[in-house]
């Protein structure tokens, strides 16, 4: 999204980012739009800002409703368990049926559309951990622009650790999948690991600019990034760049960061169609092989027993068990870490000062030629490892 905005517009956007009060933010966004010249090159940006304005308006409404005690749908569900997984799909695809099959949640399944009107969580046991599965209200076309419960639903997806994209095999599934993918894209949620991941964390005045490059810059230098940020009057922030990023990607991130959420496609109601494989192939073409597609049936329970494993592997996580030096057995409850995590990541999760006090660790695992093995902070952990940390 190369925009070439006039400098007044860039400065205005800085005011938008700094504003805390939603009504004030909304007013500044309107002013920002009036400063953006309207042409093809800025159309995408304008649409995106309008979407953010729609979300703000909803938030303001929701706050008002709560003040007057009238309730209303919630935006977020507090995370529990090893990960939060949100089920997204059009109405009547069987989201509630799936939630009821996988978890203990009490949900209403019905043959009428739009039965679920607010997010409903349930806990799904898998091995010795639990996933929190959340049924989101149905997606409709235009969700990302505020249709139906679209904004709440996509906010849930943005906040989740992973997504189950559900379609009904008996009812034009490729169209459903296209709609879901379109709305996710508009909401800047990608289901494929992006080349670049950029976060801009605004800091207090006088903090200065800190640019942390953990990946590679494409056709630009950190000086260019500094210049760009200054053009937006962003003077105090930490900018983190992972992967391969070009200057345009950084400019994109100034407006709204793209988030990556891993996803699996669940093709439900396989019991209703005879040519399941053929329809699954058609679905595969929509996502160009990028996502895993699993035919299921909530009615006959087809493949439901495989979902725990699939979710676990989609999330790229490992379970690590800690042991006190003077205990015989490790704690039964594992720590959940990202794949490729090290002893240092584990130590950080246990306690903020554990890394400074760290002496050495001992690791037990069948994959090692002998156990326990004495290791340092950079030792890479794997699923099932038992770790005993020795600290000062
Ligand atoms: N044949 C068949 N019917 C199913 C299956 N899964 C769900 N259904 C039926 O599909 C209808 C809708 O199911 P729900 O689970 O309520 O769907 P939902 O996606 O939660 O729908 P809303 O919350 O209303 O948007 C119900 O009549 C279910 O019995 C399935 O695998 N096979
Ligand atoms: Mg439902």
159: nearest Cα among 88, 253, 221, 61? 88
Amino acid 209: pLDDT: 94
Residues with CB under 5 A from ligand 2 (ion): 95-96, 115-116
pLDDT one-digit tens code per residue, 158-191 = 989 999 999 999 999 999 999 999 999 988 899 9
Choice between 57 and 173, residue whose per-residue pLDDT is larger: 173
Q: What SS3 class is residue 240?
A: strand
pLDDT one-digit tens code per residue, 312-355 = 999 999 999 999 998 999 999 999 999 999 999 999 999 888 89
Task: Taking residues 210-225, report their average pLDDT.
Answer: 92
Q: Is the pLDDT of residue 288 over 60?
A: yes
Q: Is the pLDDT of residue 63 over 80?
A: no
Ligand nearest to the CA of 107: 2
Task: Taking residues 19-43, report their average pLDDT.
Answer: 91
Q: Which residue has the tokens 């493949």?
A: 303
Residue 307: both structure tokens together: 């979902």
pLDDT one-digit tens code per residue, 106-153 = 999 999 999 999 999 999 999 999 999 999 999 999 998 888 888 889
Amino acid 1: pLDDT: 56
Amino acid 261: pLDDT: 96
C-alpha span between 24 and 34 (Å, rounded): 16
Q: What's the pTM? A: 0.85
Amino acid 277: pLDDT: 96
164: nearest Cα among 200, 115, 124? 124
Query: Could you tell me the sign of the dihedral formed by the alpha carbons of 5, 245, 260, 289, in that order?
Result: positive
pLDDT one-digit tens code per residue, 182-194 = 999 988 899 998 8
Q: Is the pLDDT of residue 237 over 70?
A: yes
Question: What are the residues whose beta carbons fall under 8 Å from the beta carbon of 121, sequence distance 6 or more?
Answer: 77, 80, 105, 132, 133, 134, 135
Q: Is the pLDDT of residue 2 over 60?
A: no
Pairing of strands 196-202, 237-246: antiparallel
Choice between 61 and 277, residue whose per-residue pLDDT is larger: 277
Q: Out of 89, 102, 107, 110, give the residue to mutate to test ligand 1, the one with the largest number of ligand atoms within 8 Å of its CB.
A: 110
C-alpha span between 129 and 121 (Å, rounded): 16
Ligand nearest to the CA of 94: 1
Chain CA centroid to CA 133, Å: 14
Give backbone dihedrals phi and psi of 225, rounded to 5 degrees, phi first.
Answer: -65, -40
Amino acid 55: pLDDT: 80
Whether cis (ω within 30° of 0) applies to the bond prior to 372 is: yes
C-alpha span between 102 and 87 (Å, rounded): 12
pLDDT one-digit tens code per residue, 81-113 = 999 999 999 999 999 999 999 999 999 999 999
Distance 97 CA to ligand 1 centre (A): 6
Task: Taking residues 250-271, report their average pLDDT.
Answer: 92
Cα-trace Rg, the chain? 24
- Bin 225: left if φ > 0, else alpha if -120 < ψ < 50, else beta: alpha
**Residue 339 per-residue DSSP state:** T
Q: Is the pLDDT of residue 52 over 80?
A: yes
Residue 202: both structure tokens together: 């605004």
Nearest atom within ligand 1 for CA of residue 98: 15
Q: Whose CA is nearest to atom 27 of ligand 1?
A: 111
Residue 167: both structure tokens together: 């379609």
Pocket-forming residues, ligand 1, beta carbon under 6 Å: 89, 91-97, 109-111, 113-116, 138, 268-269, 271-272, 297-299
Question: What are the residues whose beta carbons fall under 8 Å from the beta carbon of 100, sequence distance 6 or more?
Answer: 107, 109, 122, 298
Q: What SS3 class is residue 25?
A: helix
CA atoms within 13 A of residue 109's CA, in its CB half-sphere: 13
Q: Whose CA is nearest to atom 2 of ligand 1?
A: 269
- Bin 311: left if φ > 0, else alpha if -120 < ψ < 50, else beta: alpha
Total residue length of the chain: 392
CA 5 → CA 32, 33, 354, distances in Å?
11, 11, 47
Residue 51: both structure tokens together: 């979407």
Beta strand spans in 298-372 (E): 317-322, 335-338, 358-364
Q: Out of 97, 143, 274, 301, give the residue to mutate to test ligand 1, the one with the largest number of ligand atoms within 8 Å of its CB.
A: 97
Q: Is the pLDDT of residue 285 over 70?
A: yes
Nearest atom within ligand 1 for CA of residue 108: 16
Q: Is the pLDDT of residue 300 over 90?
A: yes
């Amino acid at each position: 999204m190369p925009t070439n905005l006039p400098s007044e517009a860039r400065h205005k956007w800085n005011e938008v980012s700094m504003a805390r009060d939603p009504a004030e933010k909304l007013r500044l966004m309107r002013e920002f739009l009036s400063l953006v010249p309207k042409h093809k090159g800025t159309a995408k940006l304008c649409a995106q800002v309008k979407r953010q304005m729609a979300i703000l308006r909803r938030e303001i409404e929701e706050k008002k409703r709560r003040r007057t005690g009238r309730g209303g749908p919630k935006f977020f569900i507090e995370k529990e368990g090893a990960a939060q997984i949100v089920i997204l799909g059009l109405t009547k695809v069987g989201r509630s049926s799936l939630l009821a099959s996988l978890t203990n949640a009490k949900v209403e399944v019905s043959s009428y559309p739009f039965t679920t009107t607010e997010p409903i969580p349930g806990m799904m046991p898998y091995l010795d951990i639990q996933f929190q599965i959340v049924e989101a209200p149905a997606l409709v076309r235009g969700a990302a622009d505020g249709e139906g419960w679209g904004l709440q639903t996509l906010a849930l997806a943005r906040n989740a650790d992973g997504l189950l994209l559900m379609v009904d095999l008996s009812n034009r599934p490729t169209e459903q999948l296209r709609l879901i993918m379109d709305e996710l894209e508009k909401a800047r949620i990608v289901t494929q690991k992006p080349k670049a991941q950029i976060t801009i964390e605004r800091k207090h005045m006088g903090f200065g600019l800190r640019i942390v490059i953990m990946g590679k810059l494409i056709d630009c230098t950190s000086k260019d990034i500094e210049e760009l940020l200054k053009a937006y009057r962003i003077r105090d922030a930490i900018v983190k760049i992972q992967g391969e990023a070009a200057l345009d990607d950084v400019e994109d991130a100034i407006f709204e960061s793209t988030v990556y959420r891993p996803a699996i496609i669940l093709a439900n109601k396989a019991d209703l169609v005879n040519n399941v494989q053929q329809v699954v192939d058609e679905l595969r073409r929509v996502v160009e092989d990028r996502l895993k597609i699993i035919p299921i049936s909530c009615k006959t329970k087809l493949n439901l027993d495989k979902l725990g494993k699939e979710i676990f592997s989609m999330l790229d996580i490992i379970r690590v068990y800690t042991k006190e030096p003077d205990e015989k057995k490790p704690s039964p409850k594992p720590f959940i870490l990202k794949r490729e995590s090290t002893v240092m990541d584990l130590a950080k999760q246990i306690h903020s000062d554990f890394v400074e006090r760290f002496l050495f660790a001992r690791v037990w695992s069948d994959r090692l030629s002998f156990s326990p093995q004495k290791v340092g902070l950079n030792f890479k952990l794997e699923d099932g490892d038992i770790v005993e940390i020795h600290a000062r």
